[in-house]
């Protein structure tokens, strides 16, 4: 069964908070490990309209966030993926790839001309997925992020739409 990729709804918040909590890892997180799932998940700046979810048999397996990176008119043509998470037990089934492709489609539907993202340099699986889907490295910020006791490069990737 292929998961359904759909826009998030406000009532998805509790399930998405559990996904977010369960998928926290220093491989991609730039925040401290939370003590519990976020409550509420949707708040300012988290807006359900900017989230896509992967759902199978009524269960949320993952999500992605695609939004304007800067709320200024000069950046209106750009969308940025600001989160992508898939539950451990659902990995290896193409769900992250499906969510990523849905982000590209959503950015195009919003008439964006560019789609960007940031990924930690040590997150090789994510970097490989992004590259395989057409994202190019557009810059590297050396030692930009201090995570899990070490400085990590922040890799900027993007694609023209």
User: Per residue in 24-75, pLDDT tens?
Assistant: 776 667 767 777 777 788 887 788 999 999 999 999 999 999 999 999 999 9
In this prediction, residue 38 carries a pLDDT of 78
Distance separating the N- and C-terminal Cα atoms of the chain: 30
Element (DSSP H or E) covering residue 13: helix 13-23
Overall pTM > 0.85: yes
Alpha-carbon span 145 to 24, nearest angstrom: 16
The residues that bridge with 22 in the sheet, in sequence order, are: none
Specify the DSSP class assigned to residue 121.
T
pLDDT of residue 41: 84
Looking at the chain, how many residues does it have?
A: 161
> What tens digit of pLDDT does each residue of 91-137 get?
889 999 999 999 999 999 999 999 999 999 999 999 999 999 999 99
Q: What is the pLDDT of residue 140?
A: 98
pLDDT at 20 over 90: no
Of 79, 68, 83, the C-alpha closest to 29 is 83
φ and ψ at 30, to 5 degrees?
-115, 10
| Phi, psi at 116, each rounded to 5° | -125, 170
């Amino acid at each position: 069964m292929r998961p359904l990729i759909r826009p998030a709804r406000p009532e998805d918040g509790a399930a998405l908070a559990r996904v977010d909590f369960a998928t926290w890892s220093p491989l991609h997180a730039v925040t401290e490990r939370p003590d519990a799932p976020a409550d509420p998940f949707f708040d300012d700046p988290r807006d359900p309209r900017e989230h896509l979810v992967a759902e199978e048999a009524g269960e949320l397996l993952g999500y992605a966030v695609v939004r304007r990176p800067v709320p200024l008119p000069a950046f209106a043509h750009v969308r940025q993926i600001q989160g992508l998470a898939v539950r451990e037990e659902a990995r290896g089934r193409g769900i992250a790839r499906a969510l990523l492709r849905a982000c590209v489609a959503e950015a195009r539907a919003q008439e964006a001309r560019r789609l960007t993202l940031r990924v930690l340099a040590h997150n090789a699986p994510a970097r490989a997925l992004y590259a395989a889907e057409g994202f190019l490295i557009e810059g590297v910020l050396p030692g930009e992020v201090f995570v899990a006791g070490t400085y990590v490069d922040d890799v900027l990737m993007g694609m023209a739409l």
